[in-house]
Amino acid sequence: MNKLPFKVVAVDMDGTFMRDNQTFDHKRFDRILNQLKDQGGHFIVSSGRPYTRLREDFAGFLTRIDMIADNGSLLLQDNNIISTHLITYKTTVDLIHFIQEHYPESSVIVTGVDNSYTTVNASPDFKQKMSFYYPECVEVNDLLSTVSPNGQVTKITLSYKKDFSAELEREFNKHHTEKVHCTSSGFGLLDVVPYSVNKGSALKYFLRYFGVKPSKLIAFGDGMNDTEMLKLAGYSYAMANGDPEIKKIAKYEAPSNNDDGVLEVLDSYLNK
């Protein structure tokens, strides 16, 4: 087994680690995790998915991996939440009002640490798409009525036909002290999270904890919400099926998600 040039592996999920049919090669992944551990390495799932979904995705592996959920709002180690970045109650209310006024055609889901909500009148396509990621999502008549001062909101997700994430971030932040960060997660969805939150900042937290420099990070992604993560990594890979713009940011290209591109690249390092 070759000595690895990296110590930490970070992978996006949709369009990257997961095949389009929401599967991955468990046996191969198990072997790669063992080989990575033998060299003192770490494996981090870095996703826009909520942690409740990720826990189902990686059942059986939870004590052997670390997780970044909700595009950086939640960090987990050994299946325990170790860091949270929340949108305050006031900003959550202001955001919902802002979205309803400026983007009334968008369907919306409000994600909390333990539960999530969408509206009864959200589009059927949106609700069907979200049912996989948020199987316990509650449909309500009014999102504002579900938000409470004691709530723990990690993310607000909107549907779109044309990506307006930069516009929403710019216009909302003009008039609010508490800033937000908006990023497209692909598949016609954009996420709104606290301003300083992204996959890159979350990975910096883990790298400091592990005592590892960014030059020893290998990261894989396919969409623009992977930008900060790929810019941080010493070894950055965009998937063959990825956004053309993210391919301009990454240093290398991996085979597609449906060809198990992440595992292929890791195997190429581990078993040259």
CATH architecture, domain defined by 8-84+198-270 = 3-Layer(aba) Sandwich (3.40)
The mean pLDDT of 196-222, rounded to a whole number, is: 96
pLDDT in tens, 13-54: 999 999 999 999 999 999 999 999 999 999 999 999 999 999
pLDDT of residue 114: 82
In this structure, whether the domain defined by 89-194 belongs to CATH 3.40.50.10490 is answered with no
User: Would strands 80-84 and 108-112 be described as parallel, antiparallel, or unpaired?
Assistant: unpaired
Give 1's pLDDT tier (boundaries 50, 70, 90): low
pLDDT in tens, 137-173: 999 999 999 998 888 899 999 999 999 999 999 999 9
pLDDT in tens, 63-109: 999 999 999 999 999 899 999 999 999 999 999 999 999 999 999 99
pLDDT of residue 35: 96
pLDDT of residue 41: 96
User: Could you give the CA distance from residue 57 to residue 76 in angstroms, rounded to a whole number?
Assistant: 14
User: Could you give the CA distance from residue 34 to residue 29 in angstroms, rounded to a whole number?
Assistant: 9
pLDDT in tens, 172-207: 999 999 999 998 876 789 999 999 899 999 999 999
In eight-state DSSP terms, residue 18 is: B
Q: Which residue ranges does the chain devote to CATH 3.30.1240.10?
A: 89-194
Give 115's pLDDT tier (boundaries 50, 70, 90): confident
- Tell the residue number behind the tokens 């992204």, with chain if given: 198
Is the pTM higher than 0.85?
Answer: yes
First to last CA, the chain: 7
